[in-house]
Amino acid sequence: MSENQKSYTRFSLAQRIEHIVLIASFTTLAVTGLVQKFAQSSISISVIAALGGIEMTRIIHRTASIVFLLQAIYHLVAIGYKLYVQRKEASMLPGFKDLQDAFQHFLYNLGLRKERPKMDRYNFVEKAEYWAMVWGLVLMALTGFMMWNPIATARVLPGQAIPAAKVAHGAEAILAVLAIFIWHFYHVHLRTFNKSMFTGKLTRHEMEEEHALELEKIEKGLLPPPPSPEELRRRKRIYYPVAAVLSLVLLFFVYRFVTFEETAITTISPVSARADSVFVPQTPTPLPTRPPTATPAPTQEGQLFEGPLSWNNAIGQIIAQRCGSCHGAMGGLALTTYQSALNGGRSGAAIVAGDVEQSLLVTVVRDGIHPGKFEPQELELIVRWIEEGAPE
């Protein structure tokens, strides 16, 4: 029993911190990325709104991608340290045994084998996940770069490589997220809650089930002994400068990744309204030009003016011609017959025999506020007619 409660150190503190950073950046990338891929769904819109809009969502996505890349660089340097300085076994490298283990484990699951295969420090489940992650990182970084720097990309590659990169980036994201749900969550959370990534330890029982071969090695003392302190120091002296240069080069790549080009058009102001005025009236149609006024018929006047002036001789005709179109009734004034003319209208008498100044027919027209007018000669005749007593 006490043997069963014994625990085995699996992950160092640095590895556990690395994993937490990975959870944070991966989750952020997944959330901010998937809402962009499915931008029209109402869930995405709510998430984007909660994050502060699409521009902010993109900034968060890109920031998380930088964290992801920086972590990848750290991971590379850390692996280098373990392999070169500490001379640890490259236990994550996949081999034929992993295929065999997977197959045998499958048979065991179906009840076709009695015992599950014995597996080493990293079993096929973990290797599959790790290498899928590495593959994903490389592909996402490449396609991400293309979308981040489309103009530079189009200088080298055909333009359609950019939408193709977008398709791959999105599809790979779906694959990665679903793989995490199906593979990772099942194996370390649902099947059993494997706390080693947080506590750093595995129990003996868990070791037996998942890493029987490693357990055997530990118990039989088959693991290579740690190198001597002198040896360690010597290797560190070589490794540190190499790692420093390598990480600087990689950091420079990340820097270029971010700053390669400014596709966000900071220099061009938003396309807005036209610069010229929208109000440009057409040249107005000119008023119908006044047709030349018909010359009044002086001959007629000459002909008509024979004998004494009277309504029936000339005056009635002039009034019918000049006033008739309106003053059939307008203003209560009907200038149609001698009698109705003498009756006057609403404003008073139009014709007062013998008194020109009391006759509105003259004053209204003469003083210029009336739309219709007499010719001066006509007015003269009318004045004379009234002065003579306005006979019929």
Partner 1 sequence: MPDRYRIPPELFIVAFGFILLAVCLVVGIAFRNEALPVRAETLPVDMAQLPNNAACLSCHMVEDQIKEFPNGDVISVVIAPEMYGLSAHATLSCQVCHTNISGYPHPENLAQSSREYTLQFQNTCNQCHPSQASELMDSVHTRLMAEGNLDAPICADCHNPHQQPKIAKDEQGRLSPAEHAQSAMVCGQCHSTIYDEYARSVHGSGVLEDKNPDVPSCIDCHGVHNVSGPSGGAAFRLSSPKICADCHTNEQIMSKYGLSTQVLQTYVADFHGTTVTLFEKLDPDQQINMPVCYDCHGVHDIRRSDDPEKGLQVKQNLLAACQKCHPDATENFPDAWLSHYIPDRNRYPLVYWVNEFYKYFIPTVLGGMGLFVVSDIYRRWVLDRRRKNAKSVEGAEDQMSATEETSKDIETEEQAEQADTQFSDEKPQDEENS
The interface with partner 1 within residues 76-105 (CB under 8 A) comprises 89-91, 93, 95-97, 102, 105
Contact set for partner 1, span 155-184 (CB under 8 A) = 155, 157-164, 166-168, 171-172, 174-175, 178-179, 182-183
Decide: helix, strand or coil at residue 86: coil
Q: Is 39 in the site for partner 1 (CB under 8 A)?
A: yes
Packing angle between helix 315-323 and helix 376-387, nearest 10 degrees? 130
Size of the site for partner 1 (CB under 8 A): 97
Contact set for partner 1, span 308-327 (CB under 8 A) = 325-326
User: Quick check: 199 and 206 in contact, CB under 8 A?
Assistant: no
Cα 62 from Cα 68, distance rounded (Å): 10
Least Cβ distance, residue 300 to partner 1 (angstroms): 21
Supply 124's token pair. Answer: 């096929």
Least Cβ distance, residue 268 to partner 1 (angstroms): 6
Q: Is 329 in the site for partner 1 (CB under 8 A)?
A: yes
Q: Is 342 in the site for partner 1 (CB under 8 A)?
A: no
Cα 269 from Cα 31, distance rounded (Å): 31
Closest CA to 48 of 60, 66, 64, 65: 60
Q: Which of 226, 298, 328, 376 binds partner 1 (CB under 8 A)?
A: 328
Q: Across-strand partners of 173?
A: none
Least Cβ distance, residue 230 to partner 1 (angstroms): 23
Least Cβ distance, residue 284 to partner 1 (angstroms): 9
Q: Which of 221, 225, 288, 307 binds partner 1 (CB under 8 A)?
A: 288
Residue whose CB is less far from partner 1, 314 or 323: 323
Q: Is 117 in the site for partner 1 (CB under 8 A)?
A: yes
Q: Is 306 in the site for partner 1 (CB under 8 A)?
A: no
Residue whose CB is less far from partner 1, 83 or 297: 83
Please give the backbone phi and psi of residue 390, each rounded to the nearest 5 degrees, phi first. 50, 60
Cα 392 from Cα 385, distance rounded (Å): 10
Q: Is 349 in the site for partner 1 (CB under 8 A)?
A: no
Q: Is 294 in the site for partner 1 (CB under 8 A)?
A: no
Q: Across-strand partners of 201?
A: 9
Supply 263's token pair. Answer: 């596709």
Q: Please report how many Cα atoms fall inside a 13 Å half-sphere around the Cα of residue 23, on the Cβ side.
A: 10
Q: Is 43 in the site for partner 1 (CB under 8 A)?
A: yes
Q: Across-strand partners of 203?
A: 7
Region of 190-198, 225-233, 250-258, 348-356 interacting with partner 1 (CB under 8 A):
190-198
Q: Is 27 in the site for partner 1 (CB under 8 A)?
A: no
Supply 329's token pair. Answer: 């009734």
Burial 367-379 (b: 16+ CB within 10 A, else e): eeeeeeebbeebb
Q: Is 18 in the site for partner 1 (CB under 8 A)?
A: no
